Structure formats: structure tokens, C-alpha cells
Amino acid sequence: MMPASMSHYLIGDDDFEFQSFTTFPLLEHVLGVGRMFCAPRFEIVDESGEPLADEDSFLSELGELAPRLFLPLHDDLVALPSAADLDLVLTSLLATLRTADPHILAQNPEGPAGRRVRWSLPFVWELRKTDWPALLIAINTVLPGKKITLEWLARQNSENVVERVLAEANPLGAARETLPEPYAFALSALTFVVGHDTVTFTVEDDTVFYEFDSNSAPPKLMSRLESPVLTEEESTRIEAVRAASDATLTALANEQPEDSAFAARTARLWTWGLRDLPSIARAYRASATSFLEQGELDRAITDASFSLFLEEDADAYDTRAIARHIAGDLDGAKLDYTHALALVPDDPRVLSNRAEAHYDLNDDQACLVDAGRAMELDPEDPDPIVHYGKALIRLGRVAEARSFAEKAAALGEESLLDEIGHYEG
């Protein structure tokens, strides 16, 4: 085990503490459950480093420049940021940090000389009672021996519940010592919240203050402030976002998933500190499409949602709908397809997709309507023909469905013809 001098604590509600040994702890601990947000801490210090004003005063002086980094922006952002991909969280903060010192000086010209801004980026994890089952499932997948239940945890006395239940002398405590640290943290947190019946619970990293110093090497995360991306003109970065976003989609069309993923990362990188919201939306729209093709549904939904938060777009709605559809959220998928069609009413591909959602929701009449309209708009696409024929079969109109099966087969899709053969055989 690493020496205590290299560790630090994650601090939670009601003095919950968990000693961590990872370099960027909280992002590595949350197992994709709950909500993550960044809660920037600021203070103004004098030349010797002594604080001059509290955080509220500083944020008040920043006004509209104060960063707003809460994630998710709304409930559709289901993926938590990773230590390797923090651009979604830091986009707004980068521009703020570079302008914080001169802004404060301009607001307070009579203030003491040499004053400057220090900042910290503690990440905060929020766990709600509705998240308990998902966290329990994650823990039980790696817990050796007998699995635990929420009911069992709820029966434990709340006083010092973590120390008692997870003591090394107890079987569960001994098991915790063998778990990877993220799961050990999750078990400790779940034991605490269930034992105390804590409806909403937050844990955050230690607050470690940094300051921007152009004359020294940037500390952890500060290297992003030195990114050459931020030295370019806004117009240059907008063009770079456009080029990388287009490259993402071109690579997908050419069946080059690795090139697409690289281009998507590049597009997101060029959004750092960008003030042009449509360009940021464009980058995340392309990124969502790339993640969808990679099968990373949570990230596809998250990036499409962030794009839609900035700018409504039919393609973003369609991408999120497809990801939701594959993930089994049929109602959410149908709603997103409907939003997309409200923006582009006669898109045959989206109509075909919504027809499939209707079919999967057992609404055969609605499926026939959408698939029929899609066939009218694009008679060369076999997908709506298949959806139409499948709805006919389920309605008992098998003979009528054969003509649609033959049309689809002529276009290279024989699945419906095989299904017809099953019924006729």
C-alpha cells in the first residue's frame, strides 16, 4: 500500500471520508453511476498568498464570466466525464481562467498591488436514492462470495455504520480490502447512504488551489491553458471545428472508425474556450455520431444531448434516438424521432426509424403510416418496406405482406421474405 503522505481524502456529506491513492480520484471512482459536476473554488490572494476575499465575493465580481460547469446540463446527459476526456467539463472554464486576473484588477483598480486569483477544480459526485440499485449491481458484479442487498444494508444501525459493517474483522470488510479501489469506494459510499437513508449524497475531491503563472511549468490540468488551440483566433478555431467535424463523418462513411474517433476528439479539442455555441454544437453532434458507430451508447447520448442543449438539430435528435432505441429506451427514441421530424418533416430515414420504433412498441398502425410515407419519399430504401411488411404480418395480413417482402428482396434485403416463408411454410 502507498504511504499515507501520497494519499488524500474524498470528503462527503456528514463527514463521510474515503482515503484515496489515485492521481485523479473521484473521476476514477464513480463507476458510471450518479451525476458528476465540477464545483470550481476561487479565492483572491495578496502578493504573499494570503486570501483577500471569500469565494462568493469573487464570483460576484466575475458576474457573467463565472463558470457554469454543472454536469449533467439536464437529465439526458447520462455519461460521466472521464479523466482522459474532460473537455466537456472544462470548455467554459478555460476562457474564464485566462481572463480572471485582469478582470479582477479592472473591477478593483484601488486594490492592493500584486493580488491574483487562485482556483481549484474539485469534482463532485452526487448519488441519489434512485441510483442505489444501479450502484449495488456494479458492486455485486465483483464482490466475492455472498452478495449484499439494499434491505440488508438498511437494517444496519446507522451509528458508525461504515466502520462497523466494513471492519476488516467482518466478512464484508475483508472482501472490501480485496476490491479495486473504485468498487471499495462505491461499497463504502453505498453502506453509508443506505445506513443513514440519505436521499441525496455528495462527495468531492480535496480542494487544492492553483494559480496561473506564465513563468513556470503549469501544474496538473493547467497545461490545457497553454494549449496552442487557445492562441488561435476565434475564426480559425471555428474553421478547425468545421473541418474536424466533417472529417469525422467522412471517415464514418468510408468505414474508418479509428480515423473517425480521432477526428471527433480533434473537433472537441478545438472547442476549448470557444464562444461560438453553434460550432461547439457541431463538434459534439459529430462526436455523438462517432460514438454511436463505436457502440458507446452512453457517450453518444451525452454528446448528442450537449449538442442539443446548445442548438436544436434534426441529426442530433436522430442520433440520440438511435442510441436510445438500441439501448432499449423505446419511448425516448420515439420522442427524439418526433423532435427530428418536427424540424425536417419529410426525412425518409427518420420516418423509417420511427416506424421501427412504433413496431417495437407494438403500434402497428402507426408503423404503417410512417413506413408508408418513407417508402413514398425513398422507394429505393428497403428498410421501411421491411417495417411495413412486418407490421402487416403481425396484423394477420401475411398474404399482403408477401409483395412487400419481394420488393425488399429485389433491393437486397431478404429478411422479410424469409419471415414470410416461415409463416407460409
| Alpha-carbon span 209 to 224, nearest angstrom | 16
Q: Beta strands 200-204 and 8-12: pairing type?
A: antiparallel
pLDDT at 18: 85
The answer to whether 107 touches 61, Cβ cutoff 8 Å, is yes
- Using one digit for the tens of pLDDT, what is the confidence trace for 248-287? 999 999 999 999 999 998 998 788 767 788 998 999 999 9
* Cβ contacts of 213 within 8 Å, gap of 6 or more: none
| Alpha-carbon span 260 to 242, nearest angstrom | 14
List the domain boundaries for the chain. 4-226, 346-425
Q: How far, in Å, are 88, 284, 299, 347 from residue 304 at the CA level?
A: 12, 6, 8, 19
pLDDT at 54: 52
The answer to whether 70 touches 91, Cβ cutoff 8 Å, is no
Element at 358 (helix H, strand E) = helix 348-360
Residue with cell 413514398: 376
Nearest of 403, 351, 345, 357 to residue 374 by alpha carbon: 351
- Using one digit for the tens of pLDDT, what is the confidence trace for 80-120? 444 344 544 454 555 555 555 566 566 666 667 777 777 77
Full DSSP string of 399-416 = HHHHHHHHHHHHTT--HH
pLDDT at 79: 46
**Whole-structure pTM value:** 0.62
* Cβ contacts of 27 within 8 Å, gap of 6 or more: 36, 80, 81, 82, 83, 123
Q: Does the 346-425 domain belong in CATH 1.25.40.10? A: yes
Helix (H/G/I), strand (E/B), else coil: 337: helix
pLDDT at 94: 53
Q: What is the pLDDT along the chain (425 residues), one digit of tens a residue?
A: 223 334 567 888 777 888 876 655 576 667 778 777 666 666 777 778 787 755 455 555 554 444 444 333 334 444 444 434 454 445 455 555 555 556 656 666 666 777 777 777 677 888 899 999 989 998 999 998 889 999 999 999 988 899 999 998 999 999 998 898 889 999 999 999 999 999 999 888 777 776 655 554 444 454 555 566 767 888 998 999 999 999 999 999 999 999 999 999 899 878 876 778 899 899 999 999 999 999 988 888 888 988 887 889 999 999 999 999 999 999 999 999 999 999 999 999 999 999 999 999 999 999 999 999 999 999 999 999 999 999 999 999 998 999 999 999 999 988 888 888 777 65
